[in-house]
Each structure stands twice: as C-alpha cells, then as structure tokens.
A = this chain, B = another copy of it.
Amino acid sequence: MASSYEALRERLRTINNINKAGAVLAWDQQTYMPPGGVHDRGAQLATLAQLSHGMFTGDDFGELLDLAEDEVKDLAYESDEASIVRVTRRDFEKQRKLSADLVGRLRRHATESRNVWVKARQDDDFPAFAPFLQQTVDLSRETADAYGYEDRPYDALVDVTEPGMTTADLEEIFGTLREQQVPLIKEIVSRPQVDDSVLHQPYDEAKQEAFGKLVVGRLGYDFNRGRLDRTVHPFEIALSIDDVRLTTRYDPNFLSMSLFGTMHESGHGMYEQGMGRELAGTGLARGGSAGLHESQSRLWENIVGRSLRFWKAFYPELQRTFPDQVGNVPLETFHKAINKVHPSFIRVEADEMTYNMHIMLRFELENDFLEGRLEVRDAPEAWRARMDEYLGVVPPNDREGVLQDTHWSTMLGGFAGYCLGNVFGAQFWEKAIADRSGIPDEIEQGEFGSLLEWLQQNIYRHGRKYQPKELVQRVTGKPISTQPYIRYLKAKFSEIYGPL
C-alpha cells in the first residue's frame, strides 16, 4: 500500500488508542471506581472524547482520507483496505455533521435529564420528567435534521446504530412480527401455565459465579483475553481485541438473572474477541451494528442457552452445584421453567416470546413523537394502550410503564437493535445448522467449537466491514427475513406449551 493509506491507518491507531483508553475509564467507573472519583472521571472522559473527536473530524483528517480513498479506489469492495477507507469515510461524514454546539447541548441534556429521570421514576412522577422528555424529542429532531434524511426523521437516528437500515425496513419487520407474535402470545397465555418456582430459591452467589464462568468458558469466551466482574447494569466492553470484559449481577434468590445474563454478555464478548486482526486499531474492529451485536448475545443466551440440548450437557453439573435446589428436579421441568412465557411490564425482565412487543411499542411511540402525532403529555396513556393491545397487560403506574427505561432521558432511536438481534440471530442460526448439521449434536455434548468457528468465520471477523443488510445477504444468501425467527419461536415454544 502506498503512503497515504498507511498514514491514515496510523492516525486511526492513535484515535483508537484514545477511544480504548476511554473504554478502560468507563469500565472502571462502572466496576471499581470509588464514589468520590465520579466528578474528575467525567472530566477525564470528556477530555479523551474531545481529543478523539477533534483528531477524527479535523480538515487534515479529511485530506488524508481523500488521498487514501484515491489510493484504494481500484481495490475490491471486500478488501480490508477498501473497507477501512469506506467505513471510515462514512463515520467521518456522520461525525462532521454534528456541530460542537449541538454535541455540547446533547451532553448537558443527557447529564441533567438522567438525574431527573432517576428521581421521577423513583417517585412515579411523570409530570416531573415530561419537560425533559420534550427536550429529548426536540434534540432528537434537531440531531436528525443535522444528520439529514430523505424520508423520515427516525431514518437519521437509526442509521447511527444500524447503518443502512431505514424506518420503512423496521416497520416491515416489526409489522410481520406483530402479526405473528400477538396471536401466538394470546394462545400461549390461554394454555396451562409453566411453574418456574425452581428458579426462585436461594442460590449462593459465589456458586452462581463459578457456574457462570464455567459455562461461558465452555461456550468459547476466552478468559485469558477477558474477565467477568460485578456491576449494577451488566454490560460487555472491549478494551482491545485481546481484552474484552463482561459484567453481570447476581440475585441471591433467582438463578436466571446472572446465569442467562452472563451467557448474554459472553455472546457480545465472543463477537468482540473474534474480530479480524487486520481490522485492529480502526473503527471497524467492533460489532457491525447494535442489532448484529444483539444477535450474538441472543443466539448464545436464548437459542443455545435456553435449549433442551444445551441443558442435557450442563444440567448434571448444575445439579452437583446446587443439589438442594435442583437435585431432585427433572431436566424437563427445569427447561420449561427457564422458558416460561409471562406478559409483564418491564422490558429488561421480559421473556424471549414477549420481549419484541416491548421494543415495537417504543419504536412506534418514538416515530409518533418525532413526526408530531403524539404529544409528550399523552405518552403514558399511549403506552398503556399499546401494552394492552400487544400483551394484554396494563402497568398500574408510570414507574413500570413509560418511565422504566433510561433511554428516553437522552435520545430517541436506541431500541430497534434489541428486536433486530432476535431476527438476525435466528436467521444466522438456521444457516449455521444448514451448513454444519453436526452443531445441534455437539451442543448436546457440551461442545460449541463448530458453531463458534462458523460465527467467527462468517460474522465476527468482519467487524463493521459490512452493513447489516449486506452481512445477512452475504452470510445467508437471502435478505433479512423474520421467517426463521418465527419458525424458531413456534418450534421452541411448542416444546414448552404444546403444538402452536
């Protein structure tokens, strides 16, 4: 490669090092930082963000990018060089569109509004939060205008986390899911209910932690290049390809919280640990989109981790670890318990079947806000109406309704990936077992090497090289489709609730 491309790579390495230093500070803030550190940590993070943003959006960076673009113009679309320049160009143009003034106002709003939201939720006081939600709507519209869009304001926002996806794409996906899932949920709710009391017993936290580590280590998460810590709000964070950390939380009286939470984060973690080294030090060496990332956490947590065949391998070990709790509980009872469907108010506690409905509700209200069909003051009522329509339950207060998520204290447009992840995950899974028919049997033996290698080769190593639509087409040979997910849901929950 000629010199401008190499110079660009070098500049990106520097920027990436600054961003990753910021990630170390963010990880520390949420795990070990003492309370007193919070003020200065904010200043340290702001300095790093400003340095990185300044280096990435400067005119000199733009000139370097022009030169590098010229150098790689004859290379194949799939080549590392062309991809790095192409995706960097996209990021550059996007970041340049937000003025320093807007970025500053967004940051101040986030800080102030988040504090108000925490208290309003505590107090179940929507009117206290309403002016800040209004500002979130206004700032989201302004941000969408700054990015620019052809059709719908939401297009501009979702493009940040799901490059190339549009509001129309999402409406089609969510429309099909709604049409299929609402009747399925109604049918399941009408059938005899699953007893999941086995999960609600005292479970020693240290043993939960040891078992969780055992499981995710066996899945293929590499502890030599990562670690697992405790935090209030679990997350995964990559401090480099070779230092990808997970966090989780433990409920001493409920097994699922940490067990499936840890598997979920390990899916994110294996994705980040699987980045191609040729992308290291660029903005491409991370998950391709929020939805693609979520496809991996959901695949490992739900498709693998809540399957009967998975527990055929791991249930004996769980019984040895918790003999008093599950020693005499049949595998089938346990498997049903971890797959109980129960329409409820809180998104983050929702089961696999009802989860998507929480997302489409939010997606719809966000578009209504942005396009002026819904006033902030009417949001609680709109929320309740949608909950009733989709899930047949109505939250008794706003704390368990419109106030439950932190997202709306800062920006609209952040939910779609959670639902897309389910769709992408099932589509990838169907292709993986079509390509490698031995995978299900291997899982039953507690072996995950074939699946992980398939994911690594087809998805993980590409990082952000391809946009979600491109990647799904390349991997599965088909456009994004909800059908594999619907097929998966029907088959899976027919096992639990009888033929659907």
**Residues of B close to A14: CB separation below 8 A:** 47
Contact of A225 among B18, B25, B36 (CB under 8 A): B36
**Residue interface mask A1-43, B partner, CB < 8 A = 1:** 0000000000001100110111011001000111111011101
- Which B residues lie within 8 Å of A20 (CB)? 40, 44
Q: Check A224 against B43 for contact (C-beta < 8 Å).
A: no
* Partner-binding segment picked from A83-91, A239-247, A458-466, A484-492: A239-247
> How far is the CB of A55 from the nearest CB of chain B, in Å?
9
- Per-residue B-contact encoding for A223-264, CB less than 8 Å = 1, 0 else: 111110100000000011111010000000000000000000
Q: Are A41 and B243 in contact (CB under 8 A)?
A: yes
- Pick the contact of A37 from B21, B44, B46, B243 — CB < 8 Å? B243
Q: Which residue of B lies closest to A46 (CB)?
A: B17
Distance (Å) between the CB of A208 and the closest chain B CB? 20
Contact B44 A24 (CB under 8 A): yes
> Do the beta carbons of B17 and A225 come within 8 Å of each other?
no
Select one of B21, B28, B32 contacting A48, CB under 8 A.
Answer: B21
- In the complex, chain B residues whose CB is within 8 Å of the CB of A225: 34-37
Say if the beta carbon of A51 comes within 8 Å of chain B: yes
Is there a chain B Cβ closer than 8 Å to A222's Cβ? yes
Task: Indicate if the CB atoms of B35 and A241 lie closer than 8 Å.
Answer: no
Interface residue range, chain A:
35 or more
Q: Bound complex: CA of A239 vs CA of B32, how far in Å?
A: 12
A21 vs B27: C-alpha distance when bound (angstroms): 12
Give the shortest distance, in Å, between A395 (CB) and chain B (any CB): 37
**Alpha-carbon distance A21/B245, docked complex (angstroms):** 19
- Choose from B33, B43, B44, B243 the contact partner of A34 (Cβ within 8 Å): B243
Q: Which residue of chain B has its CB nearest to the CB of A37?
A: B243
Q: A14-B47, A34-B224 are in contact. Are A242 and B39 (CB under 8 A)?
A: yes
A404 to B499 Cα, complex, angstroms: 73
Bound: A97/B27 CA distance, A: 37
Minimum CB–CB distance for A45 against chain B, Å: 8
Partner of A227, one of B34, B46, B47: B34
State whether B32 touches A21 (Cβ < 8 A): no
**A34: chain B residues within 8 A (beta carbon):** 223-227, 242-243, 245
The docked-state distance in angstroms from the alpha carbon of A51 to that of B227 is 29
Q: Which residues of B contact A35 (CB under 8 A)?
A: 224-225
Bound-state Cα–Cα, A113 to B14, Å: 26
Return A282 CB to nearest CB of chain B, in Å.
13
Q: Which positions in A face B, CB cutoff 8 Å? A: 13-14, 17-18, 20-22, 24-25, 28, 32-37, 39-41, 43-44, 46-48, 51, 222-227, 229, 239-243, 245
- 4 smallest A-B Cβ distances: which pairs? A37-B243, A36-B225, A40-B240, A17-B47
Q: A32-B227, A37-B225 are in contact. List 6 more A-B contacts (CB 8 A).
A: A21-B44, A32-B32, A34-B242, A36-B242, A40-B242, A40-B243
Can you list 20 pairs linking A and B with CB atoms under 8 Å apart? A13-B43, A17-B43, A20-B44, A21-B21, A21-B22, A21-B25, A21-B44, A24-B28, A24-B44, A28-B28, A34-B224, A36-B225, A36-B243, A37-B225, A37-B239, A37-B242, A40-B240, A40-B242, A41-B239, A44-B240
